[in-house]
Amino acid sequence: MPPTTIVHVALHAPSHSGVGDLLSYASPEALPPGTLVRVPFGTREVLGVVWDSDEATGELPEGATMRAIAGVLAGVAPLDAPWRRLVGFAARYYQRSLGEVALAALPPQLRDLGPEQLARRLRRPAAPVGDTSQDLPTVALTPEQESARALIAAEKGPFVLFGSTGSGKTEVYLRCVQEVLDADPSAQALVMVPEINLTPQLEERFTARFAPRFGAQAVVSLHSGMTNPQRLKSWLAAHSGTARIVLGTRMAVFASLPGLRLIIVDEEHDPSYKQQEGARYSARDLAIWRGREQGAKVLLGSATPSLESWHASRPPTPEDPEGGRYLRLHMPSRIGAGQLPRVRRVDMNQQPRRAVFTAPLLAAITERVQRGEQSMILLNRRGYAPVLHCADCGWKSDCPHCSAHQVFHKTDRTLRCHHCGYTVRVPRHCPTCGSPDILSMGRGTEQLEEQLGGLLSEVLRPDGSPARIARIDADTTKAKGALESQLAQVHSGEVDVLVGTQMIAKGHDFRRITLVAAVQPDGALFSSDFRAAERLFALLMQAGGRAGRDAAYMAAQGGAPCEMWVQSFHPQHAVFEALRTHDYPAFAAQQLQERQEAGMPPFAYQALVRADARTQEVAQGFLTAASAAAREHGLPGLDHVTLYPPVPLTIQRIANVERAQMLLESPSRAALQRFLATWQPVMQATRSDPAHKGLIRWLVDVDPLAI
Ligand code: ADP
Ligand code: ZN
Ligand code: ZN
């Protein structure tokens, strides 16, 4: 019998199976760590990653029963040590099992393909390679871009590229990528964007720039909008080194990139870098960690950096001679001496009640249409109206399964719950009292589109044709390719007024928009979430940044300034004041001071523990018991961690599940981590107490974004 090696394999075991981080299997041959294997698990065969192995021991000890691995995925090189360290760190830090994080980081198809199918994929002929002698199209950098580029080349980083919207950050990314790839034929770069819908535009720009020199296969994308075969193909290209540039959303931070030398996180402040299920990782934070570990430079770009990154990149001062750990680079000017929009605030207290488009805003939009320019109207709420109600008895369109209203969608005459998906036809009569007098309250993007259609029906474009209005939100873009074609229409000038949710506010390089309006941004001002103001400010700056991006076009239109309109009942609010002066640093300074005084991030570290149960009582009861158990055990770190009492979530019930959460806070990240690590087993034990029957699950969110 051949000598047997014992290998320890990471695989995705369901959490209730009680399986620890690694499972041991017998292997007839030694397998290096990182090898992909198929192993029996229960009655199935699953994909696993060899994490480490024991020395060859000859035969198994007497009486030992150990299952043998079923096979090795030959042809795929073992995952390297930096990748395994990244996965190990993410699992520890975000309190998940190693196997769960490792397997979630691999393309789904690797799990399903048999050895032969995989071998066929690997045999696919490579696309023709590029020609390294090819000159790349060069764009002369502006002085601001050039000084950013030079600092990035010279310093270690990490860098925060603080550049206005339209300051040419993408051009700096392109240049940095080029330098890194030119310097070393095995070097790879990872470029992340927050939204899938931004990847096609970016891919186009990167491919146009680099395909001539590095070949068409050198640029690949990785995001959840791709089919599984596409994802596998990109992943293998990155893993084998054929792909030199990987563009992707947050999941791409886990791509296997043996030659990684540069990581770019565009719009680094964007909340979508935080995963909201499973391991709730922050791709931005992992990028920083990965870069340091793997010796890759990290560049975070934004016009409105997160307060975390802004604080971490503070320059040294006499009182604070060290400054932050990151290096901040400034690009305040727009390309081609373009101007940032002039901000116009409309005080809604002075306007007729229920006005959606106030007279001055409507006049400004009308003028734009008549001049053949484009306008963009932002409202962060889709559907026609957020709720229907009965004028006679007060009935409201509440979702029966959630503590939320069902949203009225007029296009298909449905009431839809945006939380659980429960959908019904709009009733003709009040379901409670039978009255036909059912009214809508509030408004969403569908209604804006409809109202604008009426208000602009007489307004003509320069060629005498009527104004064209389009809407882009999650409802209009469900079909594959719909968003691309709608965006293409905007870019080609087939739309005069674009109505939409935050989807349209981010990243797009629109060339002919000269007016952006936020018609109802007040909702976020008084949110209980301490990050609401920061997020609103970033969104409005981003949205405003879609206007006046082409200085030459603006000049040709007669040189009138582009505008950002805000309709608000609180026009003097600090958020709108800072918006008016485009003064992110002042806004950040004010917010950071508040956070420091209140002991909140980035001056403290947080984690949320959430419990889901059949009743609110059980959910909160579990959390209370878990924190009592922590105190009883005197867990390490506890003296530096504050455990707040459990509370129901803002939307406390979704799909008939009651949700409660508990906030943990500490001035020390290490103390919080130490505490969480030892608390996990205590929570497991707490759960098995019959008192908590009815508990469905609990989960930990480290560095939560929404409180
Ligand atoms: P940001 O990402 O900072 O919002 P972009 O990188 O999209 O800005 O640049 C805005 C526009 O300016 C783009 O159309 C880009 O092609 C153009 N641009 C960028 N850098 C230069 C440059 N140095 N010279 C001329 N045009 C540039
Ligand atoms: Zn009624
Ligand atoms: Zn619901």
Tell me the C-alpha distance between 303 and 532, whole Å: 17
What is the arithmetic mean of pLDDT over 573-585?
A: 93
Q: Which of 297, 331, 365 is the C-terminal boundary of a domain? A: 331
Distance in Å, CA 429 to ligand 2 centroid: 8
Spacing, Cα 498 to ligand 1 middle (Å)? 23
Please say if the pLDDT value at position 428 is more than 70.
Answer: yes
Atom of ligand 1 nearest to the CA of 266: 2
- Domain identity same for 236 and 149: yes
Asked if 620 and 660 touch (Cβ cutoff 8 Å), the reply is yes
State the distance from the centre of ligand 2 to the C-alpha of 145, rounded, in angstroms: 62
Q: pLDDT by residue (tens digit) across 266-314?
A: 999 999 999 999 899 999 999 999 999 999 999 999 999 999 999 999 9
Query: pLDDT value at position 48?
Result: 94
Report the pLDDT value the prediction gives residue 507, as an integer from 0 to 100. Answer: 77
Report the nearest-CA residue for atom 19 of ligand 1. Answer: 168
pLDDT for residue 528 is more than 90: no
Could you give the percent of the chain with pLDDT greater than 90?
76
Would residue 600 count as lying in a domain? no
Across 353-382, average pLDDT = 94
- Asked whether residue 424 is assigned to any structural domain, the reply reads no
Considering the domain architecture, whether residues 355 and 218 belong to the same structural domain is answered as no
Same domain membership, residue 461 and residue 375 = yes
Give the DSSP letter string of 312-374.
HTPPP-SSSTT--SSEEEEE-SPGGGPPPPEEEEEEGGGS-TT-SS-HHHHHHHHHHHHHT-E
Residue 125 has pLDDT above 60, yes or no: no
Residues 249 and 173 in one domain: yes
Above 70 in pLDDT, residue 62? no
Nearest atom of ligand 1 to the alpha carbon of 170: 6
pTM over 0.85: yes
Residue 195 lies in a domain: yes
Tell me which amino acid residue 467 is: A
pLDDT at 127 over 60: no
Q: How close is the Cα of 403 to the center of ligand 3, in Å?
A: 7
Q: Name the region of 209 (left: φ>0; alpha: ψ -120 to 50; beta: rest).
A: alpha
Does residue 74 sit within a domain?
Answer: yes
Q: Which residues line ligand 1 (CB under 6 A)?
A: 139-142, 145, 163, 165-171, 335, 509, 549
Residue 95: its pLDDT value, please?
A: 93
Residue to substitute in 509, 510, 512, 542 for testing ligand 1 pocket (most ligand atoms within 8 angstroms of CB): 509
Range of weakest confidence among 95-109, 190-204, 418-432: 190-204
12 and 38 share one domain: yes
What local confidence, expressed as pLDDT, does residue 480 receive?
Answer: 83
Do 326 and 348 lie in one domain? The reply is no
Res. 121 pLDDT band, cuts 50 70 90: confident
- pLDDT at 64 > cutoff 70: no
pLDDT band at residue 56 using 50, 70 and 90 as cut-offs: low
pLDDT of amino acid 19: 57
Please identify, by atom number, the ligand 1 atom nearest to the C-alpha of residue 142: 23
**330 CA to centre of ligand 2 in angstroms:** 58
With pLDDT > 70 as the criterion, what percentage of the chain qualifies?
A: 95
514 falls within a domain: yes
Please report the DSSP string for 229-268 in residue order.
HHHHHHHHHHHHT--SEEEESGGGGG---TTEEEEEEETT
Instruction: Tokens for 176, please give them.
Output: 């940095």
Do 175 and 313 belong together in one domain?
Answer: yes
Cβ within 8 Å of residue 491, ≥6 positions away: 510, 511
At CA 689, angle to CA 684 and CA 694, rounded to 5? 90
Residue 421 included in any domain: no
Same domain, 316 and 346: no
pLDDT digits (tens, 9 = 90+) for 380-423: 999 999 999 999 999 999 999 999 999 999 999 999 999 999 99
pLDDT at 159: 98
Q: Ligand 1 atom 13: the closest Cα is on which residue? A: 168
The residue assigned the tokens 């395994």 is: 84
- Does residue 455 surpass a pLDDT of 70? yes
Among 125-134, 221-230, 413-422, whose mean pLDDT is lowest? 125-134
CB atoms under 10 Å from CB of 432, counted, come to 13
Give the chain's mean pLDDT.
91
Give the pLDDT of residue 317: 92
Mean pLDDT of 146-169: 95
Q: Which ligand is nearest to the CA of 394?
A: 2
Q: Minimum mean pLDDT among 109-123, 152-166, 564-578, 582-596: which range? A: 109-123
pLDDT at 188 over 80: yes
Residue 338 has pLDDT above 70, yes or no: yes
Output the domain CATH number for residue 31: 3.40.1440.60
What is the tens place of the pLDDT at every residue in 611-625?
Answer: 999 999 999 999 999
Do both 112 and 237 map to the same domain?
A: no
pLDDT in tens, 681-698: 999 999 999 999 999 999
Report the run of H or E that residue 288 belongs to, with start and end: helix 283-294
Across the range 62-76, mean pLDDT stands at 82
Please tell me whether residues 579 and 669 are part of one structural domain. no
Confidence of residue 195 (pLDDT cuts 50, 70, 90): confident
Ligand nearest to the CA of 143: 1
Report whether pLDDT(78) > 60: yes
pLDDT at 3 over 90: no
Q: Among 607, 609, 614, 606, which residue's Cα sits nearest to residue 686?
A: 609
CATH number at residue 627: 3.30.70.260
State the CATH number of the domain containing residue 304: 3.40.50.300
Q: Which domain holds residue 82?
A: 5-122
Of the pLDDT bands very low, low, confident and very high (cuts 50, 70, 90), residue 15 is low
More confident residue, 175 or 28: 175
Lowest mean pLDDT, pick from 61-75, 158-172, 239-253, 365-379: 61-75
pLDDT at 335 over 70: yes
Same domain? For 102 and 200 the reply is no
Average pLDDT rounded to a whole number, residues 571-576: 93
> Of 68, 89, 122, at which residue does a domain stop?
122
Q: Find out whether 626 and 643 touch, Cβ atoms under 8 Å.
A: no
* Separation of CA 399 and ligand 3 centre (Å): 5
368: its two tokens:
């734009």
**Under 8 Å CB-to-CB from 472, ≥6 apart: which residues?**
483, 486, 487, 490, 498, 499, 500, 501, 503, 504
What was the pLDDT predicted at 59?
62
Q: 486 in a domain, yes or no? A: yes
Quote the number of domains for the chain: 4
The answer on 58 and 18 residing in a single domain is yes
Closest ligand 1 atom to residue 145 Cα is 23
- Atom of ligand 1 minimally distant from the CA of 169: 3
The pLDDT of residue 308: 97
Query: Counting ligands in written order, which one lies closest to the CA of residue 435?
Result: 2
275 within domain boundaries: yes
**How far does residue 147's CA lie from ligand 1's centre (Å)?**
15
Last residue of a domain, one of 268, 303, 331: 331
Q: Backbone phi, then psi, for 139, in 5-degree steps?
A: -115, 130
Residue 185 DSSP one-character state: T
φ and ψ at residue 205, rounded to 5 degrees: -65, -40
- Measured by CA distance, the residue closest to atom 4 of ligand 1 is 166
User: What's the 436 CA to ligand 2 centre distance in angstroms?
Assistant: 8
